[in-house]
Amino acid sequence: MSPTQSYRRLFASTGLTYVLVAFLGRLPLAMSQLGVLLLIADTTDSYGAGGACAGALAVANAIGAPMWGGWADRAGQRLVVLIQSVTGAFALAVLLITAHSDLSWAWAAVASAVAGFLMPQVGPLARVRWRPITADSGPHQPRLVSTAFSYEGAADEASFVLGPALVGLCVSIVSPTFALATAAVLLAVFGTWFALHETARVAHAAPRASAEGASRLLTPALTVLCLAQLAIGMVFGSVQTGTSVLATDAGAPGLTGIFHALLGIGSVAAGLALAGLPDRFALPTRLRWFAVAFLALALPLLMVRSLATLAPVLLVLGLSVAPYMITTFTLGEQLTPASRTSAAMTLLAAATGLGYAAGAAIAGRLADWGGHTPAFAVTVAAGVLAVLISWSGRSLLGRADERARHGAPLVNTVHP
């Protein structure tokens, strides 16, 4: 089955409406971090306060995501995502009120953390639905699931390009308040729609794992994958920081979002093309070589001296990002008992968010000392970390992948 046929058959199994809803449902999370930063910076005249509130939202979301994911495994996505969408939208509204009140910005940081904790991770939860959706595809199911994860990786990348761009557009036309209010409305509408869609019921109705398998989540293999996602999260944070510094020094800070989007463009293209890779190219092997490719493509960042030279470097670098992320999520789905898949997917997303926060913080400190080059050095260091993690964990991931593909139980791979 060709990649085009795989995508056509995959989307026909749900209808394009679901694909659109699941994509729009992940935009509020992609919009919220930048939206909060700009809102609080506007109301307090302090980027420090804005950054603290945005960081509170990101960390709280990373902490809450696995908890909500575990609950979704037990109670089903429909109830859990519905609660998150409604309460998360309400929390963003409370944040808007708090930001425009006479209260200290510390209260806005608390409100940001609450909003981040409540917001759903639609992308990881959408991944969980594809295996049950394609259950009747017979021998084509492995290829369709692989294609689905390629699409979801590309969709995540596209959302984190479009989300900040939409925030920038709203801020330019109206205000930061309007931008965050738009995120709240999108969450209330499309988050709820995603929660109530028929695919949520199908996913929860799928056969579940045994009680013993359901009691375990953080296997050694999944720990390796979380560390792999932590590394790629550091890439996002450091690239955004370095790009912002370079654009500001060039007198065009408004170009930061556009240049950061170049990383996403290459990533989306590579992610969609990943469905064409042959099955014999095993996932643990892919992860190792995608990490090496990323490190090689990140090195030119150290030689960037202008926005003109940054553009092609980011565009090419993006070609390695989505394949790496898609591989980690695909491995995570395959190596996790069916009853814990939502928790595993949200845990990987949480690791990415924590990596983003760490990468942005470290790159920011180094940028204050030496400009954009030390910030981009954090990106290269994250590439080195990705290589070390993927290659040092190759035996562990290889054994776990073999067990998963041959139907052997996964419960023996957990920590005591």
pLDDT tens readout for residues 387-414 = 999 999 888 887 766 765 655 444 333 3
> Does residue 139 surpass a pLDDT of 60?
yes
pLDDT tens digit string along 308-355?
999 999 989 988 888 898 889 888 888 877 777 878 888 888 888 888
Q: For residue 212, what pLDDT is reported?
A: 43
Most confident of 125-129, 138-142, 259-263, 277-281: 125-129
The rounded percent of the chain whose pLDDT value lies above 70 is 89
Tell me how far apart the alpha carbons of residues 226 and 224 are, in angstroms, rounded to a whole number: 5
Tell me how far apart the alpha carbons of residues 325 and 156 are, in angstroms, rounded to a whole number: 10
> Does residue 416 surpass a pLDDT of 60?
no
Its sign, for the CA torsion 33, 292, 230, 155, is positive
In this prediction, residue 415 has a pLDDT band, given cuts at 50, 70 and 90, of very low
Q: For residue 196, what pLDDT is reported?
A: 93
In this prediction, residue 209 has a pLDDT band, given cuts at 50, 70 and 90, of very low
Q: For residue 313, what pLDDT is reported?
A: 92
> Does residue 199 surpass a pLDDT of 90?
no
Amino acid, res. 289: W
In this prediction, residue 293 has a pLDDT band, given cuts at 50, 70 and 90, of very high
Tell me how far apart the alpha carbons of residues 140 and 289 are, in angstroms, rounded to a whole number: 26
Residue with tokens 């030119």: 300
Q: For residue 23, what pLDDT is reported?
A: 93
Nearest to 201, CA basis, from 75, 329, 330: 75
Tell me how far apart the alpha carbons of residues 16 and 30 are, in angstroms, rounded to a whole number: 21
Give the global pTM. Answer: 0.79
> Does residue 55 surpass a pLDDT of 50?
yes
Q: For residue 182, what pLDDT is reported?
A: 94
In this prediction, residue 364 has a pLDDT band, given cuts at 50, 70 and 90, of confident
Q: For residue 279, what pLDDT is reported?
A: 67
Q: For residue 301, what pLDDT is reported?
A: 94
Q: For residue 410, what pLDDT is reported?
A: 42
Q: Which residues lie closer than 8 Å to 114 by C-beta, 6 or more apart?
A: 60, 91, 94, 95
Amino acid, res. 355: G
Of the listed ranges 171-175, 224-228, 378-382, the least confidently predicted one is: 171-175
Q: Domains, the chain, ranges and CATH?
A: 1-206 (1.20.1250.20), 210-416 (1.20.1250.20)
Average pLDDT over residues 245-260: 75
Most confident of 79-93, 218-232, 356-370: 79-93
Tell me how far apart the alpha carbons of residues 353 and 32 are, in angstroms, rounded to a whole number: 13
> Does residue 96 surpass a pLDDT of 80?
yes
